[in-house]
Structure 1
Amino acid sequence: MGSIREVIWSGVLVLVWLIPKASTQLKEPQVPCFFIFGDSLVDNGNNNRMLTLARANYMPYGIDFPQGATGRFTNGRTYVDALAQLLGFQNYIPPYERTRGRAILMGVNYASGAAGIRDETGNNLGDHTSMNQQVNNFGNTVQEMRRFFRGDANALNGYLSKCIFYSGMGSNDYLNNYFMPTFYTTSSDYTAKAFAAVLLQDYSRQLTVIIN
């Protein structure tokens, strides 16, 4: 059993089905680690120290979150927070901006408010970490993880192959790029169909790099 609650995610009213706490806690996580790529829907603090309008580390954000305004663009948990709990993680997946050492072994959240598939997306709001940069950050994490596996590439690959990867990108490439002709030229450079094709091509390449 559970209950329905109304929450606000990035200015959108969402109905969330709440699962009782006892049914979401497991002794061991179902997967060893969880890596997250995305924008404001799943950002949990990576933009906090950036010079940008895409920040959420102040009230009323976080009014229903135990730690207050952490940088999540919501009043409480994001849906990757909920997913992490359902997977059995005892703690939320930490933001890349302040995560190093053994903590990376359970996964890292690279998401950044205003981020898009294209590097220029979101520049109208200020600094952010684009998908290309998030992919590079993941590469840095993998390099750091090597020392915990004593350079054994097969062991590291085996570990990563059991992890879950979430990526949600693309909305800002329209909201904070294509649909803003006074700031960007993409709507004159591409037809809607051509721009979608370019995004799919770039996104496919980025996901392929993560997999490789």
Structure 2
Amino acid sequence: MERGLKMWYVTCILLLTYVQSPVHGEQQVPCYFIFGDSLVDNGNNNGLATRAKANFSPYGIDFPYGPTGRFCNGRTMADIIAKLLGFENYVPSFAIASGQDILKGVNYASTAARIRSESGQQMGARISMDAQLGNHLTTVSRIAAIFRDNNATGNYLSKSICSVGMGNNDYSNNYFMP
């Protein structure tokens, strides 16, 4: 029974990963905010003093722009979700998001990130969950400055979607380390 559930889970993940949406309809949400670790980091660690970087080959060999800071050879799950939500472009990383770009969303994820701020120091700099939430507050302030109306800002953000994927580093890199 357990093996069957695992196979079903793997099949669902593979389908979500490789199935392209044949429908090119309207964007489902105004913006998409992404919090997480290496599974969804799209370049936030590139400018940090850390060993946890992926902005060099062979990373990105199947990505149209080459290495970007994603810890994979192509798109992350967040990229795929954004595409399925109807976004035409990739959600920018907080490190490079500016101006009107933030109205489509921001990716705050950081490789080696932890829920606990004090965890993971052995890798060097990383953006913990607390820091990612602080970056989100900065983005919300910038969006409010664009709209110049708190009600309009609140209405816009209430239609947005967020994804959070973090915690495995807290467990594996603390529990298994001496």
TM-score past 0.5 threshold: yes
Report SS of the residue matched to 1:36: strand
Is residue 2:32 matched to residue 1:34? yes
Query: Relative to structure 1, is the Cα distance of residues 20 and 118 closer, same or farther in structure 2, using a 3 angstrom cutoff?
Result: closer
**1:107-165, CA deviations, whole angstroms, 9 ceiling, x for partnerless residues?**
00000000010012221111110000000000000111111111x21111111110110
1:110 to 98, 108, 111: 108
For the residues of structure 2 that align with 1:61 and 1:24, how far apart are their CA atoms? 29
For 2:146, the equivalent position in structure 1 comes to 148
Residue 165 of structure 2 aligns to which amino acid in structure 1? G
Per the TM alignment, residue 16 of structure 1 is displaced from its structure 2 partner at its CA by: 2.7
For the residues of structure 2 that align with 1:108 and 1:66, how far apart are their CA atoms? 20
**1:62-104, CA deviations, whole angstroms, 9 ceiling, x for partnerless residues?**
1110011100000110011000000000001000001111100
For the residues of structure 1 that align with 2:28 and 2:103, how far apart are their CA atoms? 14
**Bigger RCO (CA 8 Å, 6+ sep):** 2
**1:35-65, CA deviations, whole angstroms, 9 ceiling, x for partnerless residues?**
0000000000000111111100011111110
Largest Rg, 1 or 2 = 1
For the residues of structure 1 that align with 2:23 and 2:75, how far apart are their CA atoms? 14
Superposition pairs of residues 176-195 of structure 1, within 5 angstroms:
176-181=173-178
Give the count of matched residue pairs: 165
For 1:25, the equivalent position in structure 2 comes to 24
Q: Between Structure 1 and Structure 2, which shows a larger proportion of strand residues?
A: 1
Is residue 2:155 matched to residue 1:158? yes
Identity fraction in percent: 56
Contact 1:25 1:85 in 2 (8 A): no
2:164 to 155, 160, 167: 167
| TM-score, structure 2 as length reference | 0.88
